[in-house]
C-alpha cells in the first residue's frame, strides 16, 4: 500500500498559524490534495489535545493511527522548540515528535510541564538540550520518534546559520543513535543533503510544516511510504530502517524562503560565492547578510554537486498546483481566478494525480494548453526560479 504522508503540521493554536487551521479544514483539503496520512500537529496544547481526543478514533486497537468520521487518517505529532546554550553559543533547534498513543502523549506533556508551560502556544519553547530531550522522551517510550525539523533553516534548526551546529553528533551526543530521519525543509532537497557524508546514516524525509490548510501550503512537501498496513509501527519502522520509505515529494529548493543569502529590506539576494566575495556584507546597508541554506550546505559539504549515494530513494520536484495556475494566469494564489480552474482540474483526480500522473492531453482538455504545458514543465524540473531569501519565498519564472 503506497501512501503520501505529511507529518509536520500545526493547528490554530500555534503562533503565526491560520485561526481556521482545524481538523475539518485539514481533512477536506488533504482529500483534495491526495494526502493519505497527516500529522495532527500541536498535541501538547491542552485545548487542541482535548479536541483531538474528542474527534479522532483509532482505526483499530493499537494501530496508533487515528481517523475522523470521514476516514481521513492522522498520526499524533507535534513540533517542539528547544532554546538553550551549548559550547558558549545560543542554540535554537526545532524537532518533530511522533507518538503512538494518547497515553504516551499525556506522559510527554507531563515531562514537558516539569520544564515550563504547554498552554500558551502549540509549538512551545523549552530550555532543554537536544540530547537530554531525546534521552528523556525515550525513557517515556522507545516508540517515540524525534525528527530534527527543517534542518537548514537559519533561525531554528540543527544546521541553521544563526544558532545551529556543524555536526549532528555535536547536537545529540550519545543520543544520536536514537535519531533516524532528518527533515530537509523547503529550502533544501535530498540532493543537497547527499553532499554531506555525515548524513549517510540518516533517512531523509520531507513534510510541509504547514501554517494553514490551503493546498499550496499543506502537502507542498511530503514523504511516500509503502507499507502492508497503515500503522504507527510500520511508519516508524520505515523511518528507522528505510524499508518502506519510497521517496519524497519536494518543491524546488529555490522556492524556499531561506535558500540564498540576502537582505529582504534591501532587496539584495546573493549566491554563496557572491556573498563570500563581499565578506558576507550587504552591499546596500553594509550590515551582515542573512546566510541561507545554500551557503550552509556549501560550508559543510564534503562532496561535489551531483553526488548520489547508493540505495537512496528517489525524489520528485513539483510546484503546488495552485501556484502553477496563479503564475500562468498572473493572478493571486488565493483568488477565484485560480480556485475555479484548480477545482475543475480535480475532476481528473487528486492534486497529486494531476501534478504527477494525469496525461498532459487530459489536463489540457480541462485546464487549457498553457496550464498543461506548465504542469509538464514542473514534472520535468524545467521551471526556472527566482530564488527565495531572508524570509521571502522564491517564485517561478514561467513562459508558457
Structural contact between residues 270 and 262, judged by C-beta atoms closer than 8 angstroms: yes
pLDDT given at position 399: 80
pLDDT given at position 181: 98
Residue spans of alpha helices (H) in the chain? 23-33, 46-55, 102-113, 130-140, 168-172, 190-193, 232-241, 272-277, 293-300, 321-329, 336-345, 351-356, 360-367, 369-379
Residue 52: left if φ>0, alpha if ψ -120 to 50, beta else—which one? alpha
The span from the CA of 147 to the CA of 125, in Å, is: 16
CA dihedral 30, 395, 343, 214 (to 10 degrees): 30
CA distances in angstroms from 326 to 223, 319, 323, 368, listed in the order given = 25, 11, 5, 14
- Closest by CA to 223, choosing from 242, 202, 206, 244, is 206
pLDDT given at position 20: 97
The span from the CA of 145 to the CA of 117, in Å, is: 22
The span from the CA of 306 to the CA of 192, in Å, is: 8
Q: Are strands 245-250 and 315-317 parallel, antiparallel or unpaired?
A: parallel
Structural contact between residues 158 and 93, judged by C-beta atoms closer than 8 angstroms: yes
- Closest by CA to 178, choosing from 195, 209, 201, is 201
**Low pLDDT (below 70) residues in the chain:** none
**Residue whose grid cell is 533544501:** 188
Question: How many residues would you count in the chain?
Answer: 400
Amino acid at each position: 500500500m503506497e501512501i503520501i504522508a505529511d507529518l509536520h503540521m500545526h493547528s490554530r493554536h500555534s503562533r503565526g498559524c491560520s485561526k481556521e487551521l482545524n481538523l475539518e479544514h485539514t481533512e477536506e483539503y488533504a482529500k483534495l490534495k491526495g494526502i493519505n496520512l497527516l500529522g495532527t500537529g500541536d498535541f501538547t496544547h491542552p485545548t487542541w489535545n482535548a479536541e483531538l481526543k474528542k474527534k479522532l478514533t483509532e482505526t483499530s486497537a493499537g494501530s496508533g493511527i487515528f481517523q475522523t468520521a470521514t476516514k481521513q487518517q492522522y498520526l499524533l505529532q507535534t513540533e517542539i522548540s528547544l532554546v538553550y546554550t551549548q559550547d558558549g553559543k545560543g542554540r535554537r533547534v526545532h524537532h518533530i515528535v511522533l507518538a503512538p498513543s494518547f497515553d504516551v502523549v499525556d506522559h510527554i506533556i507531563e515531562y514537558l510541564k516539569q520544564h515550563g508551560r504547554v498552554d500558551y502556544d502549540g509549538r512551545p519553547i523549552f530550555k532543554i538540550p537536544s540530547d537530554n530531550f531525546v534521552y528523556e522522551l525515550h525513557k517515556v517510550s522507545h516508540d517515540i520518534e524525534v525528527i530534527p525539523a527543517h534542518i537548514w533553516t537559519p533561525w531554528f534548526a540543527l544546521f541553521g546559520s544563526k544558532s545551529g551546529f556543524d555536526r549532528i553528533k555535536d547536537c545529540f551526543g550519545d543520543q544520536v543513535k536514537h535519531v533516524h530521519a532528518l527533515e530537509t525543509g523547503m529550502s533544501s532537497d535530498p540532493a543537497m543533503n547527499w553532499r554531506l557524508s555525515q548524513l549517510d546514516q540518516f533517512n531523509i524525509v520531507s513534510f510541509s510544516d504547514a501554517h494553514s490548510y490551503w493546498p499550496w501550503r499543506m502537502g507542498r512537501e511530503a514523504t511516500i511510504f509503502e507499507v502492508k498496513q497503515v500503522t504507527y509501527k510500520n511508519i516508524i519502522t520505515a523511518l528507522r530502517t528505510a524499508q518502506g520509505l519510497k521517496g519524497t515529494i519536494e518543491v524546488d529548493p529555490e522556492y524556499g524562503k531561506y535558500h540564498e543569502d540576502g537582505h529582504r529590506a534591501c532587496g539584495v539576494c546573493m549566491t554563496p560565492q557572491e556573498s563570500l566575495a563581499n565578506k558576507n556584507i550587504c552591499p546596500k546597508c553594509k550590515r551582515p547578510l542573512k546566510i541561507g541554506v545554500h551557503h550552509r550546505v556549501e560550508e559543510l559539504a564534503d562532496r561535489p554537486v551531483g553526488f548520489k549515494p547508493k540505495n537512496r530513494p528517489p525524489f520528485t520536484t513539483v510546484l503546488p498546483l495552485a501556484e502553477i495556475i496563479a503564475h500562468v494566469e498572473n493572478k493571486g494564489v488565493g483568488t477565484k481566478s485560480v480556485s475555479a480552474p484548480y477545482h475543475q482540474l480535480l475532476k481528473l483526480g487528486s492534486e497529486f494525480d494531476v501534478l504527477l500522473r494525469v496525461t498532459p492531453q487530459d489536463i489540457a482538455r480541462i485546464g487549457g494548453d498553457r496550464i498543461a504545458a506548465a504542469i509538464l514543465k514542473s514534472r520535468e524540473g524545467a521551471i526556472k526560479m527566482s530564488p527565495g531569501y531572508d524570509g521571502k519565498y522564491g517564485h517561478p519564472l514561467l513562459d508558457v
